[in-house]
Chains A and B, each alone.
Chain A
Amino acid sequence: MDVVWASRLQFGAAAFFHFLFVPLTLGLSILTAIYETLYVKTGDEDYRRAAKFWGRLFLINFALGVVTGITLEFQFGTNWRYYSEYVGDVFGSLLAIEATLAFFLESTFIAVWAFGWNRLSPKMHCLAIWLTALASNISALWILIANGWMQHPVGYVLRNGRAELKSFAEVVFNKFAWLEFLHTVPAAYILSGLFVLGVSAWHLRRGREVAFFKKSFRVAAVWTLIFSLFVFVEGHLHGTEVAHTQPTKLAAMEALWETQKGAPWTLFAIPDPAKERNLVEIKIPKLLSLLAFHSPEAEVKGLKDFPPEERPPVSFTFWSFRIMVLLGIWFVLLSFWAFKNRENPEASPGLLRALIWSIPLPYIALEAGWMVAEVGRQPWIVYGVMKTAEAVSPISPVQVGVTLAAFLIFYTILGVIDFWLLAHYARKGPEPVTA
């Protein structure tokens, strides 16, 4: 294994694990804040318990989100030295701004919230969780602006042997980055919403704390429906942007080999990159041209139009994309179902079962979506500007290999403990009313 591959795997593993923990915190912080606000407004004790219960699950996950994030920041330097040198002028500042604007706020106020239950007034305490929620979402924004720049670099000029910042505004208001943000973060909200719905369903099925979990359920049902519809519509806009700015990614997402007018949408295919064709395919005529360019006769570029060394891994991108889309459709249906039954969810056992079994699905959808974004960008680390192979540090494969192995073992153990703790506390239910 060469250093590029080892580094890619290592970075991929670190990002994969980070992305297991972060999405839940993005939405659960807001849901916790909503429950606590309802408590401050109504004085309903169940909402205070809800804030504590969901907030504790948030806290368990938060710790791992933070520590896996530190690793990612440092990996740019350790494993991608020439990337850091070449684009640090544009990219580095985005990470530094994220830390200054968001990370401090988040880390400080989550502790204020955790330790402040009877040291702060209810309003002040509620403000602490809102600040935490706001900060974690601002943090996601800056990270996705940074990633959006790698996907679609703007506002820079090549000078002094590197990419130098030309317009900060262009970088910050990069349309691609904002579409990515509006796709990824609401997708994380779906994950959090379905998490709350799933855990609530588990308790409702067993008839535990019914009044309590019905309240949690109602809020989360509305929330999840809003965002699954939003992500569905936004996903389409995001896709058209990809069609315009990253033609190789689009072609790989669709396993489209030949450039053609009125390109079909492929429902199913087994791509065979060696022979540059698909073994089996089921197609819907003209749909891809319509979806990507809003015209049934529009021309879509196929993979053969690009040299083989500039094509991303096709099968991987194609299937990741399809898994994401199919799950997205399922989330719309499921959340609509939950919304319809939000007043009396305990009366529909089928819904409850579906919700419980669906808890892991948004994790899969998010990871798949992330793989489309990152693997689909290959072989570029910065699309059209710098190749991944040129970015890697002058280090030995052994060094990377050892840390990769250590990461995998270590993160797996931590992940298992984390999900075990989440399940443990989720099953335990909220604290008794008297406490």
Chain B
Amino acid sequence: MEHNVFQVIWFVLWGVLWAVYFVLDGFDLGAGILLPCVTKNEAERRAVYQAIGPFWDGNEVWLITAGGATFAAFPKTYAVMFSGLYTALFVLLFALIVRGVAIEFREKVAGEGWRRFWDFLFWISSLVATLILGVAFGNLFLGLPIDAQGIFRGSFLTLLHPYALLVGALFVVAISVHGACWLAFRVNGEFRERLLRDAKILWVFEAVLAVAVLLFSLKLTPLWGNYLKAPVLFVFPLLAVVGLILVPYFLNAGRTLAAFLSSGAAILGVTAWGVAGLFPNLFPSRLNPEWSLTIYNSSSSPLTLKIMTVVAVVFVPIVLLYTLWTYRTFSYRITREELAYGEGY
């Protein structure tokens, strides 16, 4: 009995880690996707890097922790998921490597060609990473072709199901909006005006795709099942919808931080909606529901879960505290003088 409580706790924490990851790393991934589309000159491009510079690395650790937590709390899911989605995961890994290196190396050598090269890699790797994460979640929502032994009976192409691609598209657009809001919050002048405009245009696509995902999920996935059993869960999609509606409202009012937070709430809401719909599955089988990996048949022993809970309860709040502190310290408005000073990497 007690075991079940810890399994549920770790399911919730698993969802929280993913949600925090998408909200935080989301804006720097979004900045990467937007880079070539919204910037007109070198000063603006540098402003984009400066706007995410102090944060992106810490943000990415949430992904690593989400991976690590899956390994620790649900080792069987970790093993089956990562080996089953082998090719997709390696593409994601390569994208993340390229991305990190691009951010770090771009400023290291003066020269237009050098910078343009890393700018291109930063853009494509941000886009690919976001798309893969979205498609992966889309596939989780659909269920995957895994057999009784947890062996993946499909190929890379199996993953490109139209519904999964739809979720991928939603991720890309939502994260772009998120990035645009953050950048608008950090810069000023004409660049800011342009970002506000772009964010509003992108938002229309985000809204359309979000509605499409919510509706198609009704037809194609079992996600809504849990909501009928426990209507209190409707708070998540509600959060997503309210957050989404508030974004253009705050953008029109020029309140960029509020718009950014609303966009974050929308991402949080969508992630929580999906994760809550999965429960108690972590890696559902489309071939036979009996073969799904759930929190009950794939978790660690009670002792490991207990120790991990203590670690999480003590350290996650500390991590959040100093993360918040860095956001307060480094969320200054990036002006021409700041760029000339050329702090950081």
A binds B: yes
Residues in chain A within 8 A of chain B (CB atoms): 59-60, 63-64, 66-68, 70-71, 73-74, 76-79, 81-85, 88-93, 95-101, 103-105, 107-112, 114-120, 159-160, 164-166, 168, 393-395, 399, 403, 406, 410, 414, 417, 421, 424-425
For B96, the chain A residues whose CB sits under 8 A away are 67, 70
Which residues of B are found within 8 Å of A110, using beta-carbon distances? 57
Size of the B side of the interface (Cβ < 8 Å), in residues, is 60
Task: List, in ascending order, chain B residues with CB within 8 A of A78's CB.
Answer: 82-83, 86, 89-90
Q: Find out whether the CB atom of B67 lies under 8 angstroms from the CB atom of A74.
A: yes
Which residue from B60, B68, B315, B345 sits with its C-beta under 8 Å from A92? B68
A403 with B329: CB separation less than 8 A: no
Q: How far is the CA of A223 from the CA of B225 in the complex (A)?
A: 63
Q: Are B101 and A79 neighbours in the complex by a CB distance under 8 Å?
A: no
Binds A, one of B39-47, B267-275, B298-306: B298-306
In the A-B complex, the 8 residue pairs with the closest CB atoms: A88-B75, A77-B82, A92-B71, A96-B68, A63-B104, A393-B83, A84-B79, A96-B72
Q: How far is the CA of A109 from the CA of B323 in the complex (A)?
A: 9
User: Which of B81, B300, B343 sits near A93, CB closer than 8 Å?
Assistant: B300
From A60, A114, A410, contact of B94 by CB (8 A): A410
- The CA of A59 and the CA of B307, in the complex, are separated in Å by 34
Residue in contact with A103 in the complex, picked from B64, B94, B308, CB distance below 8 Å: B64
Please name 14 further chain A to chain B contacts, defined as beta carbons within 8 Å, in addition to the given A63-B104, A89-B301, A164-B303, sorted by A numbering.
Answer: A63-B105, A74-B89, A77-B83, A93-B307, A97-B72, A98-B68, A101-B315, A104-B58, A104-B323, A107-B60, A107-B61, A108-B61, A168-B307, A406-B94
Q: For residue B76, which residues in chain A have a CB less than 8 angstroms away from its CB?
A: 85, 88
A67 x B101 contact (CB < 8 A): yes
Find chain B residues with CB under 8 A from A417 CB. 101, 105
Q: Which of A88, A109, A424 contacts B300 (CB 8 A)?
A: A88
Q: Are B329 and A100 in contact (CB under 8 A)?
A: no
A-B contact pairs, 22 of them (CB 8 A): A67-B96, A70-B64, A74-B82, A77-B82, A84-B82, A85-B75, A88-B300, A89-B301, A93-B307, A93-B308, A96-B68, A97-B311, A101-B315, A103-B61, A110-B57, A114-B343, A116-B329, A116-B330, A117-B343, A166-B303, A410-B94, A421-B105
B335 within 8 A of A: no
Do residues A108 and B303 form an inter-chain contact, with CB atoms below 8 A? no
| A-side interface mostly | helix
Interface assignment of B201: CB less than 8 Å from any CB of chain A: no
Q: Which of B61, B87, B322 contacts A99 (CB 8 A)?
A: B61
CB distance from B311 to the nearest CB of A (A): 6
- Distance A201 CA – B94 CA, assembled complex (angstroms): 37
B151 at the interface (CB under 8 A from A): yes
B288 close to chain A: CB less than 8 A: no
B residues within 8 Å of A by Cβ? 53-55, 57-58, 60-61, 64-65, 67-69, 71-73, 75-76, 78-83, 86-87, 89-90, 93-94, 96-97, 100-101, 103-105, 108-109, 151, 300-301, 303-304, 307-308, 311-312, 315-316, 319, 322-323, 326, 329-330, 332, 341, 343-345
Are A114 and B344 in contact, with the CB atoms below 8 A? yes
Contact B83 A95 (CB under 8 A): no
A393 closest partner in B (C-beta): B83
Q: Is the pair A100, B316 in contact by a Cβ cutoff of 8 Å?
A: yes
Q: How far is the CA of A393 from the CA of B53 in the complex (A)?
A: 37
Say yes or no: A66 contacts B57, CB within 8 Å: yes
Q: Which of A63, A74, A112, A424 contacts B329 (CB 8 A)?
A: A112
Nearest CB of chain B from residue A2's CB, rounded to whole Å: 16
B64 touches A73 (CB 8 A): yes
**A110 to B319 alpha-carbon distance, docked (Å):** 14
Do residues B71 and A67 form an inter-chain contact, with CB atoms below 8 A? no
Known: A89-B301, A399-B86. A99 touches B326 (CB 8 A): no
Q: Which residue of B lies closest to A68 (CB)?
A: B97
Known: A99-B68, A108-B322. A115 touches B75 (CB 8 A): no
Q: How far is the CB of A432 from chain B (nearest CB, A)?
A: 15
CA A139 to CA B6, docked complex, whole Å? 26
- CB atoms of B303 and A99 under 8 A apart: no
A103 to B71, CA, bound (A): 16
Whether A85 and B79, one on each chain, are in contact in the complex, defined by CB atoms closer than 8 angstroms, is yes
In the complex, the answer to whether A165 meets B304 with C-beta atoms within 8 Å is: yes
For the complex, what is the distance from the CA of A57 to the CA of B104, rounded to whole Å?
A: 12
Contact present for A112 and B68 (CB under 8 Å): no
CB distance from B125 to the nearest CB of A (A): 11
Instruction: Please tell me which one of the listed residues A81, A95, A120 contacts residue B72 in the complex, with CB atoms under 8 A apart.
Output: A95
From B72, B89, B322, B330, A119 is in contact (CB under 8 Å) with: B330
Most buried by A among B53, B79, B311: B79
Chain A residue nearest in CB terms to B149: A394
CB <8 Å contact, B64 and A108: no
**Chain B CB within 10 A, most for which of A160, A165, A425:** A165
Residues of B within 8 A of A63 (CB): 100-101, 103-105
State A99–B315 Cα separation when bound (angstroms). 10
Query: Are A100 and B65 CB-contacts (below 8 A) given A108-B326, A393-B83?
Result: yes
Report how far A59 CA is from B345 CA in the complex, Å: 8
Set of chain A residues within 8 Å of B78, measured between Cβ atoms = 76-77, 84, 88, 92
Which residues of chain B come closer than 8 Å to A108, judged between CB atoms? 57-58, 61, 322-323, 326
A10 to chain B, nearest CB (A): 10
State whether B330 touches A403 (Cβ < 8 A).
Answer: no
Evaluate whether A104 and B105 lie within 8 angstroms (CB atoms) in the complex, with A119-B330, A399-B87 already known. Answer: no
A115 touches B83 (CB 8 A): no
Do A88 and B79 have beta carbons less than 8 Å apart? Answer: yes
Shortest A240–chain B CB gap in Å is: 31
B319: chain A residues at CB < 8 Å are 100, 104-105
Given known contacts A108-B322, A111-B58, is B64 in contact with A92 (CB within 8 Å)?
no
Q: Does the CB pair B303–A70 fall under 8 Å?
A: no
A81 touches B79 (CB 8 A): yes
On whether the beta carbons of B57 and A115 are closer than 8 Å, the reply is no
Q: How far is the CB of A141 from chain B (nearest CB, A)?
A: 15
- Which residue in B67, B108, B344 is a CB contact (below 8 Å) of A73? B67
- Which residues in B have their C-beta under 8 angstroms from that of A117? 343
Q: For the complex formed, measure the closest distance between the CB of B327 and the CB atoms of chain A, giving whole angstroms.
A: 10
A105 to B323, CA, bound (A): 9
Chain A residues with CB below 8 A from B109, complex form = 421, 424
Residue pair A81, B82 in contact (C-beta under 8 Å): yes
Once bound together, how far apart are the Cα atoms of A73 and B89, in whole Å?
12
Whether B71 contacts A84 by the Cβ 8 Å rule is yes
- Is B61 a contact of A81 with CB atoms below 8 Å? no
Please measure, in the bound complex, the distance between the C-alpha atom of A76 and the C-alpha atom of B109, giving whole angstroms.
35
Which residue of the partner chain A has the closest CB to B299?
A: A89
A96 touches B82 (CB 8 A): no
Q: From B78, which residue of chain A is reached at the shortest CB distance?
A: A77
